[in-house]
Amino acid sequence: MMKNIKTLLPKDKFDDSNLEKIKLLNDSDLSQITSELLTWTQDANWPIFPKIVEIIVARQDLFISEISKVFQTDDWIWKYWILTNICPKLSLENKDFLKKDFDNMAKVLQTNTEEEEILELINTLRK
């Protein structure tokens, strides 16, 4: 076991130097840095974004409750990136786990015509 797993975290949006090591972490080690890793999905334009998404999708059971926490915030840009890049790749069980979040977001979005695209996506995920 590594002394400090947090030292593996990216230093900036270009830093993918430790991602291969992160992929090899066991569940209990990786679960210590899931929320920090998820923060690197706040902007799909960051170079590190697709590589982080790949890790999250591969080990999604460890990230799913953190994803749910993001869905309960007001950060719609972050929610959008997760909805469009991570959620379609989740297992049925994990989509099911997020159902309440999808329902709540859909309720909010129904009052906002500009967000029809996200609403449609959520409805697809809720099926």
Q: What is the mean pLDDT of residues 16-45?
A: 97
- Over the stretch 40-70, which tens digit does the pLDDT of each residue have? 999 999 999 999 999 999 999 999 999 999 9
pLDDT digits 0-9 by tens, 71-119: 999 999 999 999 999 999 999 999 999 999 999 999 988 777 677 888 8
State the average pLDDT over residues 24-31: 97
Entry pTM: 0.90
pLDDT at 110: 78
Contacts of 16 (CB under 8 A, 6+ apart): 10, 47, 48, 51
What pLDDT, on a 0 to 100 scale, did the predictor assign at position 113?
Answer: 67
Report which of 122, 90, 89, 88 is spatially closest to residue 104, judged by C-alpha positions.
Answer: 122
- Is CATH 1.25.40.750 the right assignment for the domain spanning 13-126? yes
pLDDT at 126: 83
Q: How far is CA 41 from CA 6, 60, 111, in A?
A: 17, 14, 26
Q: Which residues of 12-37 are buried (b: 16+ CB within 10 A; e: fewer)?
A: eeeeeeebeebeebeeeebbebbeeb
Per-residue pLDDT band for 3 (boundaries 50, 70, 90) equals low
Q: At what angle do helices 76-85 and 49-58 cross, to 10 degrees?
A: 60
- Rg from Cα positions in the chain: 15
pLDDT at 2 over 70: no
Tokens coding 107: 């309720």
Nearest-angstrom CA–CA distance, 73 and 4: 29
Instruction: Please choose, from the candidates 46, 106, 97, the residue with its C-alpha nearest in 3D space to the C-alpha of residue 67.
Output: 97
